[in-house]
Homo-oligomer: A and B are copies of this chain.
């Protein structure tokens, strides 16, 4: 129990008042205009009713700030901390694989950028060009990297001479720019974003193939273990693979509310195509010249957007404990005549105990907000677990925990605080993943005919269909499903293939099906 029983209602009234407007909540020196929005209380739309608006509002508390250049966003500390936690995990994992970090320039000269034809065709429309410095025109316009294959590979050619120089495994954490004109969306589709890009070269295809999957497994872990977002590992179609590469594997997520797939991260085998263009050769042990086999792989701040879309609810964000910069918020629930100082001290002691145990905990002792206002505020920001301490709790030497994921309340003795909280955080992490997985699985529809396909697409399903795996057929499906909300396309052919009985036909072409493939609209 948070407050003394019988008095609880009063707190709730205060909470309501706070939600309704600024008068009760204080406002701490806030300017009068727009106070409702700024107090951070209450979303103006529901997730199921207007997903786009809901997403934008949720992001504003306080993951991003919209910027005065369209398609660019400010990553505020609340989201940056999530990025840093993922980065720490991934960076350590790739270092175990002997990948080394480096930094290549932001700028590419046009000659180099255009060297690989398929590649530049894929990126050319989105390339931003610097043409001036100060008031002078540059002699030659210079491109800003949309990705760094063409930035890096001329130097791979220089550094790789003999088989002992292989494998070469480099990674960089950086910003890239793709000046897209389709709907910008925070995290999901922005003109500048942060990512890591790994670029590796091997003596044999076998080694390259193996690494592609090792990296893909790390991407799966980021989504499933850290962000609690279920993903499907699979192979991209010829149409959807990386421009200039041999094949592309990806982890694909699915946003149930919009019925859209979202490419979570990609791990490409580039084959020897770039090696040929950039003359990346080596002398093998027999003294013969061979071309290297290359991979490139990346994940970006898009991950954060997928997490927000997957877990958020009508109260705001829900952050998985493993990536939340604040895992537990401790809120005093004082009551007149009660031992306010004792309550405050208990809050501080609770935060200390949790912090010492490595749990990221904070107290909210602000005196200009009611407990109810604080509950809503921290719910909006998605903190996984709230601890309330009121007079009754003090008396009983307990604290009250409230889970953000399912609202479940529990009174726990202060003596076993740390163990209980650790356990709760693990349960929340696990539950968020399970709930998201069930939600996604409820969206999967296995179809066999064109009519079933269209029907499922209209119902915003994640469609699993038998396919002939022909480029022309995918293009045809795109053309036939083109509409206001975009066309359907392949998301991936999952590595875990259901059985494909002999004689199964492609849903779109009627030709013999070669594999099961996920289809849908996508981000």
- Judge if A276 is at the interface, Cβ distance under 8 Å: no
**Chain B residues within an 8 Å CB radius of A68:** 109, 112, 154
Shortest beta-carbon distance from A475 to chain B in Å: 23
Shortest beta-carbon distance from A113 to chain B in Å: 11
Given A29-B165, A107-B69, A154-B68, the answer on whether A102 and B80 have CB atoms closer than 8 Å is yes
- Judge if A4 is at the interface, Cβ distance under 8 Å: no
- Judge if A72 is at the interface, Cβ distance under 8 Å: yes
- Judge if A101 is at the interface, Cβ distance under 8 Å: yes
**Chain B residues within an 8 Å CB radius of A175:** 106, 174-175
CA distance A163 to B366 in the complex (A): 12
Given A30-B161, A100-B80, A164-B366, the answer on whether A129 and B132 have CB atoms closer than 8 Å is yes
CA distance A102 to B84 in the complex (A): 10
Which one of B102, B109, B174 lies within 8 Å of A69 (CB-CB)? B109
**Chain B residues within an 8 Å CB radius of A69:** 105, 107-109, 142
Count of A interface residues, CB-CB < 8 Å: 69
**Chain B residues within an 8 Å CB radius of A65:** 155, 158-159
Among the 9-residue stretches A120-128, A347-355, A509-517, the one with 4 or more Cβ atoms under 8 Å from chain B is A120-128
Contact between chains at B130 and A163 (CB < 8 Å): no
CA distance A112 to B368 in the complex (A): 35
Contact between chains at A177 and B106 (CB < 8 Å): yes
- Judge if A293 is at the interface, Cβ distance under 8 Å: no
Contact between chains at A127 and B131 (CB < 8 Å): no
Shortest beta-carbon distance from A102 to chain B in Å: 5
Contact between chains at A105 and B73 (CB < 8 Å): yes
CA distance A132 to B142 in the complex (A): 10
- Judge if A75 is at the interface, Cβ distance under 8 Å: yes
- Judge if A31 is at the interface, Cβ distance under 8 Å: yes
8 A Cβ contacts from A85-126 to B: 100-109, 112, 124-126
Shortest beta-carbon distance from A267 to chain B in Å: 21
- Judge if A134 is at the interface, Cβ distance under 8 Å: yes
Contact between chains at B106 and A77 (CB < 8 Å): no
Shortest beta-carbon distance from A326 to chain B in Å: 12
CA distance A30 to B170 in the complex (A): 20
- Judge if A13 is at the interface, Cβ distance under 8 Å: no
**Chain B residues within an 8 Å CB radius of A129:** 130-133
CA distance A128 to B104 in the complex (A): 18
With both beta carbons as reference points, the residue of chain B lying nearest to A175 in the complex is identified as: B106
With both beta carbons as reference points, the residue of chain B lying nearest to A325 in the complex is identified as: B100
CA distance A357 to B509 in the complex (A): 63
CA distance A359 to B10 in the complex (A): 60
- Judge if A436 is at the interface, Cβ distance under 8 Å: no
CA distance A144 to B145 in the complex (A): 13
Given A72-B105, A80-B103, A162-B29, the answer on whether A134 and B125 have CB atoms closer than 8 Å is yes
Contact between chains at A107 and B179 (CB < 8 Å): no
Given A28-B164, A75-B102, A107-B69, the answer on whether A124 and B134 have CB atoms closer than 8 Å is yes
Given A74-B102, A154-B68, the answer on whether A144 and B125 have CB atoms closer than 8 Å is no
A145-184: contact bitstring with B at CB < 8 Å (1 yes, 0 no)? 0000000001100110111110000100011010100000
**Chain B residues within an 8 Å CB radius of A112:** 68
CA distance A177 to B134 in the complex (A): 12
With both beta carbons as reference points, the residue of chain B lying nearest to A180 in the complex is identified as: B133
Contact between chains at A103 and B74 (CB < 8 Å): yes
**Chain B residues within an 8 Å CB radius of A27:** 162
Contact between chains at A179 and B133 (CB < 8 Å): yes
CA distance A32 to B138 in the complex (A): 37
**Chain B residues within an 8 Å CB radius of A28:** 161-165
Contact between chains at B127 and A101 (CB < 8 Å): no
Shortest beta-carbon distance from A194 to chain B in Å: 6
Contact between chains at B282 and A155 (CB < 8 Å): no
Shortest beta-carbon distance from A24 to chain B in Å: 16
- Judge if A192 is at the interface, Cβ distance under 8 Å: yes
Listed in ascending order, the chain A residues whose CB lies under 8 Å from chain B are: 27-31, 38, 65, 67-69, 72-77, 80-81, 83-84, 100-109, 112, 124-135, 141-142, 144, 154-155, 158-159, 161-165, 170, 174-175, 177, 179, 191-192, 194, 282-284, 287, 366, 368
Seed contacts A74-B105, A103-B194, A164-B366; 16 additional CB < 8 Å A-B pairs: A28-B162, A29-B163, A29-B283, A29-B284, A29-B287, A38-B161, A65-B155, A65-B158, A67-B105, A73-B105, A106-B177, A128-B133, A131-B131, A133-B179, A134-B179, A164-B368
- Sample 6 A-B pairs with CB under 8 A, ordered by A number: A72-B105, A74-B102, A80-B100, A125-B135, A129-B130, A175-B175
